[in-house]
Amino acid sequence: MKVVLFCGGYGMRMRNGDDDTIPKPMQMIGSRPLIWHVMRYYAHFGHKDFILCLGYGAAHIKNYFLTYQESVSNDFVIRGGKVELLQSDISDWSITFVDTGPESPIGERLRRVSQFVEDDEYFLANYSDVLTDAPLNDIIDDVKEAGALASMLIVPPQSSFHCVDVADTGSITGITPVSQLPIWENGGYFVLSSKILEMLTEDCDLVEDVCGPLAARGKLYGHKHLGFWKPADTFKERADLDNAYKRGDAPWMLWEHAKETVSP
């Protein structure tokens, strides 16, 4: 199944005063950029045909894959002066690079790459800035069984803030952590039917202009995920993921856990 990755935004909340020309998907988590971790997640489930919707910082993303070094994350042997890889990350991937504009909203980016997915029954899509351990292929099966035209991963609220109940007199009658409210957030992982491409209009938004109307028709499926889910939308969030990786606490790296399961 093809995977559309939206990776052309400015990522203003990620800026930290260093090199602001590096786009958010290229911010590092360990020895690899964020977008690589997202792509490896999909590849783990067998989905290795990627369409990258580029915009701001497109050259960084293109150059990274044009000069990709497998030896950074794979074991290898040097024999007779030649490098022999013992494993490979991306040798069986197909990656299509498409300039979708620096200012385009998500729906417009999808509209500009629609020719690459219009013949598929379903395809996958992602914001390229969120990591998870969600059971992707189970979600795909559930979406098809439900007959939905689209689905989104939904997660509990991640905010550390509190909501308050307040009377007209100003007296606070209750305090509730946002994380305990009976609501769900869009988790940024989509399964989409090619039929939704007909709903895309110029400069539209994927969630408001497509998912909203589908929800009103009962054609939007939400998979509730209570497992690991972590965005990298800000510098702090990215740093938290990087620190977790360095501690060996990386539940999103399902491909590594699979290696541990089959090891003798």
pLDDT (tens digit per residue) in 109-157 = 999 999 999 999 999 999 999 999 999 999 999 999 999 999 999 999 8
Average pLDDT over residues 72-99: 90
Q: How many CA atoms lie within 13 A of 96 on its CB side?
A: 17
Q: Write out the CATH class of domain 2-154+184-262.
A: alpha beta
pLDDT > 60? residue 176: yes
Tokens 């990274």 correspond to 64
Indicate the burial class of 170 (C-beta count within 10 angstroms; 0-12, 13-18, 19 or more).
exposed
d(CA 95, CA 78): 28
pLDDT band at 233 (very low <50, low <70, confident <90, very high): confident
Nearest by Cα to 233 from 3, 8, 15: 15
Query: Helix (H, G, I), strand (E, B), or coil: what is residue 191?
Result: strand
Q: How many CA atoms lie within 13 A of 102 on its CB side?
A: 8
- At 49-83, the pLDDT tens digits run 999 999 999 999 999 999 998 888 888 999 988 88
Nearest by Cα to 30 from 43, 40, 19: 40
Query: Helix (H, G, I), strand (E, B), or coil: what is residue 253?
Result: coil
Query: Which residues share a beta bridge with 85?
Result: 76
Q: Can you give the pLDDT at residue 258?
A: 73
Q: For residue 144, what are the contacts with CB-CB under 8 A and spacing of at least 6?
A: 122
Q: Can you give the pLDDT at residue 60?
A: 94
pLDDT band at 43 (very low <50, low <70, confident <90, very high): very high
Q: Please, what is the end-to-end C-alpha distance for the chain in angstroms?
A: 32
Q: Can you give the pLDDT at residue 69?
A: 87
Q: Can you give the pLDDT at residue 20?
A: 62
Q: Can you give the pLDDT at residue 118?
A: 96
pTM for the whole thing? 0.89
- At 13-38, the pLDDT tens digits run 555 545 567 888 999 999 999 999 99
pLDDT band at 8 (very low <50, low <70, confident <90, very high): confident
Q: Can you give the pLDDT at residue 164?
A: 93
* CA 118 to chain CA mean position, Å: 21
Domain ranges of the chain: 2-154+184-262
Average pLDDT over residues 164-192: 91
pLDDT > 70? residue 198: yes
